[in-house]
A = this chain, B = another copy of it.
């Protein structure tokens, strides 16, 4: 039986110890994890083969099996990422600000770990190592609940991490995994507010909704990107086509990929003709509103009528909605209505409109003449990415190491009293 109360309690206890570690001590654990992952390569790949075999027996999709699969090359990638995390600056201990107050007390706002972080994710086994290491780097304990499809792989990975913790005289309970696939445990996990400080769900819309509805712990909602680009009438047409193609096709399965292209009415006939002509491998399939459909059909067969329901969903494929709008105000209204406040942009040569768009669009990342594909911790210079937040509290957009910390106020005086 999985005793979540006990896991929570142990994670909290471990977190107090992790919070006092030096940068060096934390990096030493990570280095040991990297080393042990390589040393246990055979064991990991064997466990993964078991997961893959099970997945095939259960008839899971080729795409999903691809995500489960670990090869020696994948594992080297994971180890490389651990070493990269070692190289990053640890924000814990930084003094954010401070002052000597009139009352005579000295006050400092110091960056500290959050405590215990619960992560609920699907499929990909690299997330297990990645999240555990980012949390250890910032002195946080973690409770991981990975997808049941990778339970054998995850079990081995967590064993290796726990052994590395023990080898460094740290509690194994600093990184724990719920391996029991019972979904009821997720709901129970979401109520452990006494022990867990933050929940990060990494999965589809259903998981995020479950967390929002059930969790008594603060949840970082994110990862769902219904992204837009608006082609304003002054835009450079040929350069815009490059950006659109990049935003849609560079890696269609990601959350920062373009879902809907909004085209200003005045340039729609010319622009859409060019768009159809530009469509090159990998080929995009257009889903066009009535007006756009009439134009695109003259230039391509890869177009079909738009279904309004798709406007608020992620494609995760080479499909693209095309909607004609009267002007920027209508484009912004569309983005507010259908978007997920992830990544939305404008293509325009008009500086005033660019500024207005940046001010009025309420998304985590707003793009002015750039591809939405840039929304990423690495691209934004954060060094790493735990998740992409589309909610507004604590962290917004790509979340790096700092998003795994909070602060405390430390006030010292000479037996100071408030007047």
Contacts and interface: CB of A to CB of B under 8 A. Distances in A.
A40 interface: no
Contacts of A250: 417-418
Q: Interface size class for chain A? A: 35 or more
A302 interface: no
Contacts of A374: 103, 105, 411, 416, 418
Interface in A347-400: 347, 354, 358-360, 362-371, 373-375, 379-381, 391-394, 396-398
A99 B383 CA distance: 14
A342 to B, nearest CB: 11
Given A16-B360, A368-B413, A406 B393 contact: yes
A415 B239 contact: yes
A373 to B, nearest CB: 4
Contacts of A410: 358, 365-366, 368
A398 B347 CA distance: 41
Q: How many copies does the complex hold?
A: 2
A413 B369 contact: yes
A193 interface: yes
A3 interface: no
B381 A115 contact: no
Contacts of A354: 412
A107 interface: yes
A216 interface: yes
A360 B381 CA distance: 31
A307 to B, nearest CB: 22
Interface stretch (A82-90, A240-248, A293-301, A315-323): A240-248
A243 B362 contact: no
A407 B415 contact: no
Contacts of A289: none
Interface in A120-151: none
A278 interface: no
Contact of A408 (B107, B197, B364): B364
Given A394-B393, A415-B347, A366 B409 contact: yes
B20 A197 contact: no
Contact of A412 (B198, B247, B368, B381): B368
A114 interface: yes
A231 B237 CA distance: 72
A182 interface: no
A139 to B, nearest CB: 11
A213 B216 contact: yes
A411 B414 CA distance: 48
Lowest 7 A-B CB distances belong to which pairs? A370-B413, A246-B417, A239-B415, A368-B412, A373-B418, A393-B394, A392-B406
Interface of A: 16, 19-20, 99, 101, 103, 105, 107, 112, 114-115, 193, 197-198, 212-213, 216, 218-219, 236, 239-240, 242-243, 246-247, 250, 336, 347, 354, 358-360, 362-371, 373-375, 379-381, 391-394, 396-398, 406-418
